[in-house]
Structure 1
Amino acid sequence: MTFSQPAPDAPFFVVINAASGHVDAEEVMACIGGIFDEAGRRHEFLQVLDPSQLSSTAEEAVKRAIAQGGVVVAAGGDGTLSAVAQAVHGRGPAYGVLPQGTFNYFGRVNGIPQELEKATRALLRARVQPVHVGRVNGRAFLVNASLGLYPQVLQDREKAKQQLGRNRWVAIYSGLRTLAGHVRQLSLEFEQGGKRRVLKSPTLFVGNNQLQLERIGIGEAAALDAGQLAGIVVRPTSFWALLWLALRGALGKLGDSDNVESFAFKRLSVSPHGARRAKVALDGEIQWLDTPLVFEVPEPLPLMLPLPEDRVEVE
């Protein structure tokens, strides 16, 4: 699929999540704005001061971009990038990214510089290219989606950080507490290609980022190049076995475990037994979605991809 290129002077509408607490929004805007001013490029910042306003702010950016032939730009971590991509997807405007998070899997896998100044200058010369995204029940995701144990880990970790502070040891402590207390096994009915099966598992993880999947050792990472998603299911197991699996993932050997099943797909329907709604993590952000959960590969996203000479190698 090809997309039309925005005009060389197309304005940028930059959504910046000042409520995330990870960046100094004023400093970030000063850096971006200075580079755009130097290049004579029209731009407008749309700040998100309340996390609950992220989606509506992204929608406003899309409306302005459509009206003025502009580009919607997301400045933030993977969660912010995902929310803005959801607003852009299928609507027409090109989508630009200025990574500001911790992992930045989406930006890194697409060769976007991680330094703000370099990323901003690269955006000025970038060209639209279609990139692969995933979708569940109409909600786009860039990196991953999951239900069960993983969303609970994320939710508990955020609560712990609010109470004890944001650092790595708080995150580790919270994760161990969740693993120790999470004994519920989900009964999941899968439908893929007209075939049905039922699996019990504490979690389902759907990956859409080759870099992340390679880092944890999942062989289906290569399937993303064929326009598919990667599903990962953990078989019912004990706390210590789950802890060992987490360590294997950190060492890049998760896919070698007998307790892990991974598979590639283009469309997958998942029905948790007895649940009308399910808690799903989309790129780290928690959503409640009606069941069944339908994971699929929709039309691509029109990403402003840096020119080859501006791209950085994946580290």
Structure 2
Amino acid sequence: MAKQDPRPDAPFHVVLNAGSGHTDTELRCATIREVLEAAGRTCVLEIVHDGARLPETAARTAARAAREGAILVAAGGDGTLNAVAHEAVRHGCVFGVLPQGTFNYFGRTHGIPEDLRQAVHALLRARVRHVQIGMVNQRSFLVNASVGLYPRLLEEREHDKRQFGRSRVVALLSALKTALGRHRNLRIALELDGESRRLRTPTLFVGNNRLQMRQVGMQPLDHAVEEGRLAAIAPRPVGRWRMLGLLLRGALGRLGQAEDVVAFAFRSMTVRAPLLSGRRRVKVAVDGEICKLALPLRFEALDGRLALLVADPPQRAAGAGEAAGQDCAL
């Protein structure tokens, strides 16, 4: 694990996802180079045009950054940040963020500007802060991970974004369409910090982001991450109209007031079958990316594992910034 600030002349190795909702890749690359070169810093850009190659590119770039004492930077949405952060942890690199996605929960939580030029300038005056990551089996997550209805919601949302454009309005309408459709409920057995528990729910959502918890109205859980824990949300099986009520509560930041929601914080949790009866692998959404993982699923909070560059003093996302662009966690 990287334990201290990088040297003042450390180069920046930037993994930029050209498919994170932007078509102006050349302009973004020019902006990054311009700001860093004006500050006398070396910049190496790795541009990823095919999302399937992102993990490979992130691993190769992280290995080179570790050898050269460079700062590893991710430019893209939360899924891109996740892939590069995973390799930063594996190789012991200091990690920088240039948020370029739709919701940018991770960057906003740590006060990192969404404007690209401002974000690059922030990297130059930033210092290392060790932050928590979540793990599910061998996959890390910065914002959330989930099983059940939520992965399906994300798949449908990505389809609708390709058809209608990338915006928070499209994302919200797509979520409503999917959540109000037909879906199966999960029957799951949990081992939760040493205790057993059973749940029946359409989706199990595990959050590692204070801002997202606060936006949907789960105030009792919004400090779980700062206390070294993860936050779990599991709506009870309900009909379409009550599900619509839950979605509206989430959009209005009042989900914590709903009677049809089970919520709790934990440090480690194992999710066992039957889940979806007969299946040994299950779809899991990890920071917006869908993967298949073998059962059982083990969720764990790893406190202070990621060496993140954050501007000093940190500008925490709060107030009006938190109210903007709310996303429903269900």
TM-score by length of 2: 0.90
| Paired residue secondary structure (2:302) | coil
- Asked if residue 266 in structure 1 is aligned to residue 273 in structure 2, the reply is no
Moved over 6 A (4+): none
* 220 and 60 in structure 1: CA distance in 2 versus 1, 3 angstrom threshold: same
Once the two structures are superposed, what CA deviation does each residue of 1:100-150 show, in whole Å capped at 9, x if it has no partner?
112111111111122211111110121111011111112111111111111
Aligned to 2:77: 77
Aligned to 2:139: 139
Aligned to 2:315: 311
| Paired residue secondary structure (1:158) | helix
1:107-118 equivalence runs, <5 A? 107-118=107-118
| Paired residue secondary structure (1:119) | helix
* 272 and 254 in structure 1: CA distance in 2 versus 1, 3 angstrom threshold: farther
| Paired residue secondary structure (1:131) | strand
Once the two structures are superposed, what CA deviation does each residue of 1:19-60 show, in whole Å capped at 9, x if it has no partner?
233351111111110011101101100000101001111111
Aligned to 2:204: 204
Aligned to 2:53: 53
Once the two structures are superposed, what CA deviation does each residue of 1:152-188 show, in whole Å capped at 9, x if it has no partner?
1110122233344445565445333322333310011
- The 8 Å contact of residues 284 and 290 in structure 2, kept in 1 or not, is answered as yes
- The 8 Å contact of residues 228 and 302 in structure 2, kept in 1 or not, is answered as no
Aligned to 1:156: 156
Name the CA distance, whole Å, in 2 between partners of 1:292 and 1:270: 6
Q: How many residues of Structure 1 are paired with residues of Structure 2 in the alignment?
A: 314
Name the CA distance, whole Å, in 1 between partners of 2:74 and 2:290: 19
- The 8 Å contact of residues 102 and 166 in structure 2, kept in 1 or not, is answered as no
* 48 and 172 in structure 1: CA distance in 2 versus 1, 3 angstrom threshold: same
Q: Which moved more, 1:298-307 or 1:45-54?
A: 298-307
- Asked if residue 289 in structure 1 is aligned to residue 293 in structure 2, the reply is yes
Q: Which moved more, 1:163-172 or 1:52-61?
A: 163-172
For residue 310 of structure 2, what is the amino acid of its counterpart?
Answer: L
Q: Which moved more, 1:141-150 or 1:20-29?
A: 20-29
Aligned to 1:175: 175
* 118 and 177 in structure 1: CA distance in 2 versus 1, 3 angstrom threshold: closer
Name the CA distance, whole Å, in 1 between partners of 2:302 and 2:317: 27
* 193 and 167 in structure 1: CA distance in 2 versus 1, 3 angstrom threshold: closer
Name the CA distance, whole Å, in 2 between partners of 1:166 and 1:101: 9
Q: Which moved more, 1:171-180 or 1:125-134?
A: 171-180
Aligned to 2:328: none
Q: Which moved more, 1:48-57 or 1:179-188?
A: 179-188
Name the CA distance, whole Å, in 1 between partners of 2:171 and 2:102: 13
* 212 and 176 in structure 1: CA distance in 2 versus 1, 3 angstrom threshold: closer
- The 8 Å contact of residues 143 and 209 in structure 2, kept in 1 or not, is answered as yes
For residue 293 of structure 2, what is the amino acid of its counterpart?
Answer: L
| Paired residue secondary structure (1:89) | helix
For residue 286 of structure 1, what is the amino acid of its counterpart?
Answer: I
TM-score by length of 1: 0.95
- The 8 Å contact of residues 271 and 291 in structure 1, kept in 2 or not, is answered as yes
Aligned to 1:191: 191
* 108 and 165 in structure 1: CA distance in 2 versus 1, 3 angstrom threshold: closer
1:87-126 equivalence runs, <5 A? 87-126=87-126
| Paired residue secondary structure (1:22) | coil
- The 8 Å contact of residues 132 and 227 in structure 1, kept in 2 or not, is answered as yes
For residue 231 of structure 2, what is the amino acid of its counterpart?
Answer: A
- The 8 Å contact of residues 255 and 261 in structure 1, kept in 2 or not, is answered as no
| Paired residue secondary structure (2:265) | strand
Aligned to 2:256: 255
* 92 and 198 in structure 1: CA distance in 2 versus 1, 3 angstrom threshold: same
- The 8 Å contact of residues 89 and 306 in structure 2, kept in 1 or not, is answered as yes
For residue 303 of structure 1, what is the amino acid of its counterpart?
Answer: L
Q: Percent of aligned pairs with the same residue? A: 49
